[in-house]
Amino acid sequence: MKTAIVILNYNGVELLQQFLPKLILHSQHKDAEIIVADNNSNDDSITFISLNYPNIRTIRLDKNYGFAEGYNRALSQIEAEYYILLNSDVEVSEGWLSLIDFLDENPDICACQPKIKSWYHKDLFEHAGACGGFIDKYGYPFCRGRFFEHIEKDNGQYDSITDVFWATGACFAIRAKDFKDFGGFDKTFFAHMEEIDLCWRLQLKGKRIACFPQSVVYHIGAKTLNKEHPLKTYLNFRNNLLMLYKNLPTKKLSWVLFIRFWLDYAAFFQNLLCGRISNANAIIRARYDYHKLKKSYVKNCVSNKITTIYPHSAIFDYYILKKRKYSDLKIKRG
């Protein structure tokens, strides 16, 4: 098999009912197989697939391993040239598998994503990935088409193919060899930012990540955890700090973590003042657990200039300078 399209499912039978038909329709003309890896769901997901789509291969995991380790375990059982990791709440469109043609034609690019638009508002970009992801020098992620909470209307302004810092896990195409050679996702992350961490590790070894916006999919988003859920806050803050610790060169790490200390506590007090007590506590718990977990990591000593890291503070640009669009920023590319 050339391409394995792998959906990691957990209690998502309604999403499978909704989105599998179009996925099957628009994936027939390629040497691709659809596989559903199930994170030990307790709904009727497996029964639904076996009754309605007996030709779809299923992989059953013995417990809920989360996004990161769930995919690691599933992909270890799949032989293919390319993996496409696809969220169960994504609707694909005709020609979406041109992602694979793009990778075929560009052997120096190891992973890519399509244009991600909102399923609810199909003229808007979607929060999780939009038209390719970046981070600033303090580790804050943003996208072409989505700068923090400001989401742009898609007018074709980001239709150029470009190198990005990270490709979204909502629809993530990667060469299987690269995924395996780099150890896949960090299982400690469980969920959230594991794809950004992997993309960072890939780029430290000179690999390229790209957005190919000629492929388009539509994402519902936040079906597992609402963006205001304290667990999501916890995972985002903890995993972001772990990612910085693992991948930043030592000479930059101390200063970045010093600034992040104050920015994280600013976020803590903001949540507190807004009455989001559980979210405020999640930030403190995330920082505490980060300090415990970082001891288990061997610090990455590789220093490699990555031109897709925004060399300024996105927080400052957004909240102080009131910039609202990716196009307002000056991203240097090598």
In a domain, 249, yes or no: yes
Note the pLDDT tens digit of each residue in 85-143: 999 999 999 999 999 999 999 999 999 999 999 999 999 999 999 999 999 999 999 99
Find the helix or strand (DSSP H, E) in which 34 lies.
Answer: strand 32-38
User: Amino acid identity of 190?
Assistant: F
How many C-beta atoms lie closer than 10 Å to residue 190's C-beta? 19
Instruction: Looking at the structure, tell me whether residues 238 and 142 fall in a common domain.
Output: no
Helix axes 230-247, 194-204, angle to 10 degrees: 10
In a domain, 313, yes or no: no
Instruction: Looking at the structure, tell me whether residues 136 and 10 fall in a common domain.
Output: yes
When pLDDT is cut at 50, 70 and 90, the band that residue 334 belongs to is: very low
What residues have CB less than 8 Å from 159, skipping those under 6 apart? Answer: 115, 213, 214
What tokens were used for 315?
């927080």
Per-residue pLDDT, 302: 63
In Å, how far are 208, 242, 283 from 267, measured between CA atoms?
A: 32, 18, 8
What tokens were used for 299?
């610090």
For 214-238, the DSSP string reads EEEEEE---SSS-TT-HHHHHHHHH
Instruction: Looking at the structure, tell me whether residues 101 and 210 fall in a common domain.
Output: yes
In a domain, 329, yes or no: no
In a domain, 320, yes or no: no
Q: How many domains does the chain have?
A: 2
When pLDDT is cut at 50, 70 and 90, the band that residue 298 belongs to is: confident
| Closest among 128, 205, 203, 121 to 171, alpha carbons compared | 128
What tokens were used for 234?
């916890």
In Å, how far are 49, 66, 67, 83 from 184, measured between CA atoms?
A: 27, 14, 11, 12
- Rounded to the nearest 5 degrees, what angle is found at the Cα of 328, between the Cα atoms of 324 and 332? 130
How many Å apart are CA 99 and CA 81, to the nearest integer?
Answer: 13
- Residue numbers of the domain that contains 197: 3-219
User: Which among 219, 249, 270 is the end of a domain?
Assistant: 219
What residues are paired with 209 via a beta bridge? 111
Q: Is the pLDDT of residue 267 over 70?
A: yes
Instruction: Looking at the structure, tell me whether residues 91 and 199 fall in a common domain.
Output: yes
Instruction: Looking at the structure, tell me whether residues 105 and 141 fall in a common domain.
Output: yes
Instruction: Looking at the structure, tell me whether residues 203 and 250 fall in a common domain.
Output: no
In a domain, 319, yes or no: no
Lowest-confidence range among 1-5, 17-21, 244-248, 299-303?
A: 299-303
Instruction: Looking at the structure, tell me whether residues 103 and 122 fall in a common domain.
Output: yes
Per-residue pLDDT, 303: 64
What pTM was computed for the model?
Answer: 0.95
Instruction: Looking at the structure, tell me whether residues 196 and 240 fall in a common domain.
Output: no
Instruction: Looking at the structure, tell me whether residues 211 and 247 fall in a common domain.
Output: no
Name the DSSP letter for residue 40: -
What tokens were used for 333?
């590319």
Instruction: Looking at the structure, tell me whether residues 197 and 81 fall in a common domain.
Output: yes
Q: What is the CATH number of the domain that holds 17?
A: 3.90.550.10
